[in-house]
Structure 1
Amino acid sequence: MKDVKFAFDKASVRTYDADGKLHVELTPISKANICVYYGKEIPCWEELGLIPDKAYRLLRDPEELRKAASSFNNQPLLNTHIAVSVLAPPKEAIIGSTGESAEFDGTYLKNSLVIWDVNSIIGVENKQQREISSSYRYRLDMTPGEYEGEPYDGVMRDIVCNHVAIVPSGRAGPDVFVYDSLPTGLKLMSKIQKLMALFKPHLANDADPEEMEKKVGEIIKDEDDDGKKNKVAEDELTEEEKKKLAEDEEQAEKDKLAKDEDDKNEKEKMANDSKLAMDSAIKGVEQRFAALRQAERDVRPVVGELACDTAEEVYRTALKQMGCADHASLPSAALQSVFKAYSRPAMANDSTSINHSSREAVKAYFEGK
């Protein structure tokens, strides 16, 4: 891999707005390079005949990244990798967003970022969580080759971004990180300063922030002292009291395990509900598509081809072209029946009997209801 040096003496690209959100003007979010993936990490690995525990060297091809750049715009920024969908967005993990001007410079795919979660901002500032890892769909082309002198086993093609994450260590490498020299505005906050950031908006205008900060520090110290006292007190317990304490702790652990199991079951239920909702949505789309194709077949011999998005629109348009005065007011459920009754005399090109048939068809439909 080529050595990469960044000009850290330039003006900072990090800024903070009035609400404390961190804005990064431009930063690498992915890179054209070769990364190692185990077979089981690769989509459709079984269909491709890959070995689950074998390491494969895959290339993020520069041209594929260039074509995919726009898909990295306005994507959720997470503090971990969780697939994002509209049915079950990982709300607790979303900490910000990518910008809307992604660009590829031949090596790096770059974009702006905004981070609005204080813990993630601190992680970025103290460099504990600052490398960027993008998550995307792709089609694997298992054609081996060589890139910049390094061999690879396959190429990622047709890349489409799902989300971007800020993690302790990313696969693209340590040079794909939240780009900056020294930050401006908000600095790394200590535990006390972090608490103060929450308290200050609620302080009276005449309150002294430094005095409040001192009091918060005293509270934390008192808590630490209480913890030490509790430890001493525990050492002075009788055997019976220690036994009771151990039983309470054991029960608390059981309660926690039971709660964890309930949470797990609830998540599984939510996942199943999401799958059912997705299956239902897909079935609905398939049914609408089938109805549209049927409507097109029905009207084609009478009015020819119609470019419409729904079966209802097809029937209404056909009836309108055939001179049906009621085409706009007919209920959706009646359209196919009315059209079929209406179109029979239309084949004889008799406009008088067409209108008469239309009225009779509409009347018959409502009387049947």
Structure 2
Amino acid sequence: MAWEITPQGYLKTTARITKGTVLQYYGHEIGLTDSRANRLVDVNRTIDELSKPDTLKSIDGMPITITHPDKKSVDATDWKNKTVGHVQNPRAEGNYIVCDAYIQDASAIELLKNKDIRELSVGYEPADIQEVSGKFYHKNIKINHVAIVAEGRAGSDCRLNDSKPKIGANLMPKKNKLLALIDSFRKRLNDAEGELSKEEINKMIDELTKQLEEVQGKEDEESKAKADELQKQIDELKAKLEALNDEEPTAGEDDKNARIAALTAELEQVKKERDEQKARVEELEAEKDKASVMNDAKARFPKVKLDDAKSGRDVRVGVLVDHGIYTKEQAAKLTDTEIRAAYAGLAATSAKKNKVVSSLLNDSKEAPAKSASKRLGGK
């Protein structure tokens, strides 16, 4: 598939991410602790293992990174800072595992467009390395991510497909790819004029550190030159990062103070609105209470003058004072609850008296007049 730029500006192509082959690892990389720990050993990774359904399933949707992350894996806690794209639709084609590759990060797309950096290296979940008759085999393979690197361990044929390869583009010596990668990072750093984020700089440092680890300890002049150049660029990036860290506290403090001030103002506004609503509710309840108790008092105690009452409490106090339950001074010292209770007691007593009076009136109803014969005892 030729490179395709989607309407969103993403780069879409196909990629051979890995293949069945024999790869060399240092013994300690596969968990050896004996005399082979610091020696190169062969590890067989077969296309049969790579094309198993569970392995292909583990590839689908996995992230693409620029070089391998420092901790060798990607998860939800750092995906945002490390991922530049993803792979999907994995399938076996001959001796290769091929995927559709999507690059969504603008900086990564520019890097791929401008530099001949295409090779891929798969990052695996903790490997199941089994030793059979003195040979090592990678079994039950699960994928964590796919890294774009200057030189992949599986070979230059495990790579992103090119868009329109230039004559001789694929013939660039591998040693120049690393320098191209370094130049790209340096250009990004210089062109950004201080606008690169800490996350971007850390990603660049991770990339270069990975490359430095691969050439450290080698005695040939080319490797030493690479190591010196890598270390120089890493030092430049770390200096830039330190400068950002020195600048950040003030900016961060200002930002924090601004956010605290904004939240404080918002909180005060909420409290004000809440208090206003509470006051309005209390006002409405007071009006409702006054109307209710006024109607009750007029019905029960019609002789009490309550024209000056401004609240339900005033109505109740007026009735209690009129009936000699309290003086105004005594009532002023009582709580609303106590006044309500006293009024309720008086109202209950008043209701009982009314029933007694009514009963007496009924008993005193004039009896029908007796006939003359009944008065005289006759029929």
What is the TM-score of this pair, normalised by structure 1? 0.42
User: Which one has the largest radius of gyration?
Assistant: 2
User: Which is richer in helix?
Assistant: 2
